A and B are shown apart, each in its own frame.
Chain A
Amino acid sequence: MPEITEAVRTSGLVKRFGQQVAVGNVDLVVPRGGFAGLVGPNGAGKTTTLSMVTGLLRPDEGTIHIDGIDVWRDQVAVKSRIGVLPEGLRLFERLSGRELLSYNGQLRGIPRDEVLRRSGELLEIMGLTEAADKLVVDYSTGMRKKIGLAAALLHNPAVLFLDEPFEGVDPVSANTLVEVLRRYTASGSTVVFSSHVMELVERLCDWVSVMNRGRIVAQGPLDEVRAGRGLNEAFLALVGARDGEGTSGQEGLSWLGTTPR
C-alpha cells in the first residue's frame, strides 16, 4: 500500500490513443499539503495524466491512488475527496453562476443551507456576486475559471486538480485565484495544477513534476528540481529545448526587421 503521506501516487500509468502513446509509464507522486506543479511542453501528456487521475479517462495500464484509495476501484470515496477543474472549461452554459454552484452542491448531497452559505461566500470572494445571475455562456474566460474553481471547491475536497487554471486569465483574476488557493492549502489541503507559467509555478509550488513526451523526466521538491537555476532554465534543459528548436533560427530570417523603404 502507498504511504499515507502522499496525496497522489500513480504507478506505471499508460494511455495510448491508437498508435500514439500519450502517457507512457508515469509514476506521479504528490505529497500531501501545499501546491504541486505539473509542468511540461504542449503535448507532454499533462492533461491526459490529470484526466486519468481524476477518473475522467480510463488508463490502459497502471494504478492511481489518492489518499491511499484506488481511484478506479472505490469511486465513491475518491470522488467525494477530490475537486476537479479540467481544461477547456466546459461548464453548464445555460445555468447562471449561482445555479451552477447550487446544482453541484445538490448533486453532491450537501445540505441546502450549507450550499447557500458556501456559494454566497465563494461568489463574494471570487468577485462574481454581480454576475452571479448571468448565464455562464456569457462569462469571460477569467470568470469561467473562477466559477469553475468555486464549483470545484464547494464540497471542500482534500485534493484539488486544476488543469491550466491560469491560462487566459487576467492578472486581477489570477491574483484572486491564487489567494483563494493559498487559503485552501493553508489548512493542509493539496492543490495539483498544470501550467506553462514558470514564474507562477516557482512562486507557488513546493513540489514540481516535469513531464515530457508522456513521461516524468524530473520530480521532487522545487529546489531539488531546479538545482540552483531558475525553474525556466531547468525546465528547458530537462525537456531538451536547448539543442533542438528555438536557438539557431537566425540564418533563415535575414529579411525580418529590414524596412523596404
Chain B
Amino acid sequence: MAGHDPEVSTTPNAVPDPAPPGVPPVPPLTPPSTRAGAPAGAFAGAPAAARVSPMVFVRLKLRLVAGNLRGSTQRRLGFVFTVLAAIVVAAFGFMTMAGLRFVPPGLAVDAVTVLFTFLLVGWVIVPLMMFGLDDTVDPSRLSLFPLRTGRLATGMFAASITGVWPAATLVVTSGAVAGLADGIGEVLLGAVAVLLHFALCVVLSRLATTALSGVLRSRRGRDVLAISAIFVVLAAQVPNLLLNGGMSTDPEVLLGAMASMLRWTPSGLAAHAVAGGGLVAVTGIVVLAALVAVVGWLWIAALRRALVTPDASTEGAAVRDSGGLSARFLPYGPLAAVVGKELKYARRDPRGRVGWFAAVAVAGIMAFSINNNDDGGAGGIGLALAPACLGAAMIAIQGCNAFGIDGRSLWMNTVVYGSDRDWRVDIAGRHLAVTVIAVPLLVLLSVVAALLAGDVLWAVPAVITAWGVLGVGLGVGALTSVLLPYTVPERLNAFTGAAPGQGGIAFLASFGALIGTGLLSLPILVPMALGHLWVCALAVPYGVLLSWGARRVAGKVAFARYPALLEATSAAT
C-alpha cells in the first residue's frame, strides 16, 4: 500500500525505515547530543523559545534512519529492499496514472478518484496499525524542548514528508497530472491540487496519530488496535469478494459507482480539480486548501494537548474472574495449569486473538472464493474439504512457535521443569488448549463449507479430515517450536511477526511448518482425492499418533536446549 507511512517505521519491529532514494545515509550533523532531538539553537543558554528551522527535524529524521541501520546487515538489506519497493511502486503507480490518458476521460477521473481515496485512507490507517511512534513523531519526546507548538508542527510536518514512501506517494499522485490534465493551465492547477492532496494525506495522518497518541500509549488502546489490524486485512478482501460474488460482472460499473460515491470527498475534489480545469478546479483547490488548513489547525491543537497530557499507560482497572474451565475437567496438575493459562492467553492477549481471527478469516475467505470460482460444481466434496483442511493447517501453524508468546516470561516455566517429561507435558498442554478451541471451530467451518459446496453431509468427512490435519500440524509445530524458536514482539502489528534479526527464522518456522504439515497430510489427502473417502476414518488416529511422537521428540529437544529456547524467545524487540 502506497500510504505506508515512513514515520512509524523506525521502531525495530517495523519494516526498516525508508528515506528518500539517493539521500546519503549519514548526513553531517551537529554533535551526537542532538540525536535525542535537541535543536541546534538551544545551546548557549537561549533564553526564550528556540528558533529551529524545519531542516533540523529533517536531519533528525535522517539521522534516526541512519542510526537504525548501523551494525545490522539484515536491516540494511531490508532498507535496500524498501527503497527498491518504493521505486517500483512509484514508477508503476506513475505509469498507471499517466496511462489513464488512453482510457475514456470519465473512467480516468473515476479511477483517479478511487486511487486517491485509497492513498488518503492508507495514510491514515497504516501508521496506526504499525504503531510505534518514532522519535520524530511522538510529541511527548519533544515536549521538554523550548519549541512553540506551531514551530514543532512545521518541523514534524517536514520530518513526516522525509522518507521513501512520501516521495513515492507524491510521484504516484503527480502521475494523475500526466494522465488527466490538458494544457498548461490544467497542469498548473493539477499540480497544486496534487500537492494539496499530498499535504492533506500527511496532515491527516499526523492528526490521527497525535490525537490517538494517548490511547496508543496505553495498553488497552494498543490491544484494541492490534485487533483492528485484522479488520483492515479483511476489508482489503471485500472488493475481491464482491467481484467474485457477482455483485457486478462489470468492474467499470463498480468503479463508476464507487467514484460517484466519493465525488465530494477530498480525494474526489482533487481528482476532478486535476481533470476539470477552470472554475471547477479552482473551487476544488480552494476547498482542499481550506481543509488542509483546518486539519493542520486541529493537528496543532491536538499536539498542544498531547504535550501536556500525562501518559496513562499505568492505569487501567481490569478486574476479571479467575475461574478456569480447564480446572473442572482436567486433573489438578501441570497439564491443567498450562491448558488454563493458554486458554486465558488466547482470550486476553491481542496476539492470541489476532492469530485465531486470521486463521478463521483465511479459511472463510477461501471457502467463499473457491465456491465462486467453481461455477460448474465440478469440485464436489473437495470444496468442503479444502477450506476445512486449510483452516486446520492455519490454526496449527499458530503453534509453530508455541513458546513465542510466553517469550520472556517463559523463565517461570523453566525454573520448574527438571526433565524432558515436564517439557512434554507443557507442550501437550499447549496442544490441548488449541484443540479445545479448534475442534468446535473446525466443525463450524466444515458445516459452512459443506453448505456452500452444496451438500451438508460433506461436512462429516471434511471435519474428520480437518481434525487429522490439525493433529499433524500440531506435531510439526511442536518440532519447529523447539528447533526454530523466535520472539514474538509485544507490540503486534499487521506487518511483522518477529523481533528484528529473527525474520528469517520466523519465515523458516512458519513455512517449514506449513510445508511439513502439507507433506505429512498427503498420506490421508491423496487417497481421498483419488476417491477413497473411507481413508478419512484414519485421519484422526494418524494425527494423534504423529503429534504424540512429535511431542516426545520435542520434549527431549526442549529440555536439552531450553537455555537457547529462552534466549531465542526473549530477544529485544
Contact = CB atoms under 8 A, between A and B. Distances in A.
Interface string A114-146: 000000000000000000011101101000000
Nearest to A260: B45
Given A75-B419, A79-B418, A96 B411 contact: no
Given A109-B333, A109-B334, A261-B47, A57 B314 contact: no
A70 interface: no
Contact of A107 (B317, B349, B416): B416
Q: In this complex, which of B316, B336, B412 has the most chain A Cβ atoms within 10 angstroms of its Cβ? A: B412
B412 A104 contact: yes
A106 B334 contact: yes
Contact of A99 (B316, B322, B338): B322
Q: In this complex, which of A92, A96, A135 has the most chain B Cβ atoms within 10 angstroms of its Cβ? A: A92
B319 A134 contact: yes
Interface string B416-438: 11110000000000000000000
A106 B409 contact: no
B337 A106 contact: yes
B344 interface: yes
A77 B419 CA distance: 10
Interface of A: 54-58, 74-80, 82, 84, 86, 88, 90-96, 98-99, 102-104, 106-109, 111-112, 133-135, 137-138, 140, 151, 260-261
B563 A95 contact: no
Given A78-B418, A107-B334, A135 B409 contact: no
Contacts of A90: 407-409, 411, 570
B413 to A, nearest CB: 7
B411 A86 contact: yes
Interface in B390-424: 406-409, 411-419
5 contacts: A56-B563, A90-B408, A92-B406, A107-B334, A134-B316
Contacts of B345: 94
B329 interface: no
Interface of B: 45, 47, 219, 314-322, 332-334, 336-338, 340-341, 344-345, 348-349, 406-409, 411-419, 563, 566-567, 570
A94 B350 CA distance: 10
A54 B416 CA distance: 11
A96 B322 CA distance: 8
Contacts of B407: 90
Contacts of A55: 414-415
Contacts of A78: 418
Nearest to A55: B415
A55 B332 CA distance: 26
B318 to A, nearest CB: 5
Contacts of A261: 47
A156 to B, nearest CB: 14
A75 B318 CA distance: 37
B320 A84 contact: no
A135 B419 contact: no
B348 A94 contact: yes
B563 A92 contact: no
A120 to B, nearest CB: 13
B318 A57 contact: no
A133 B45 contact: no
Contacts of A88: 408
Contacts of B219: 137-138
Given A94-B349, A138-B219, A56 B415 contact: yes
Contact of A76 (B317, B337, B408, B418): B418
B413 A107 contact: yes
A103 B322 contact: no
A84 B314 contact: no
A84 B45 CA distance: 49
The 7 closest A-B pairs by CB, nearest first: A90-B408, A76-B418, A106-B337, A75-B418, A260-B45, A94-B348, A138-B316
Contact of B409 (A76, A92, A109): A92
A100 B430 CA distance: 17
Given A82-B415, A94-B344, A94-B348, 14 more contacts: A57-B567, A78-B418, A79-B418, A90-B570, A91-B409, A94-B345, A94-B349, A104-B412, A104-B416, A107-B337, A111-B332, A112-B332, A138-B314, A260-B47
B338 to A, nearest CB: 8
Contacts of A135: 318, 320, 348
Contacts of A54: 415
Contacts of B411: 56, 84, 86, 90
Contacts of B418: 74-80
B340 A103 contact: yes
Nearest to A155: B416
Given A56-B566, A99-B322, A106-B336, A93 B409 contact: yes
A106 B332 contact: yes
Given A58-B563, A138-B219, A98 B322 contact: yes
Contact of A92 (B47, B316, B333, B412): B412
B332 A138 contact: no
Contacts of A82: 415
Contacts of B332: 106, 111-112
Nearest to A52: B563
B421 to A, nearest CB: 10
Contacts of A79: 415-418
A82 B219 CA distance: 33
A134 B411 CA distance: 22
A84 B415 contact: yes
Nearest to A92: B409
Contacts of B348: 94, 135
A91 B332 CA distance: 22
Nearest to A56: B411
Contacts of A56: 411, 414-415, 563, 566
Nearest to B324: A99
Contacts of A98: 322
Nearest to A112: B332
Nearest to B336: A106
A86 B567 CA distance: 14
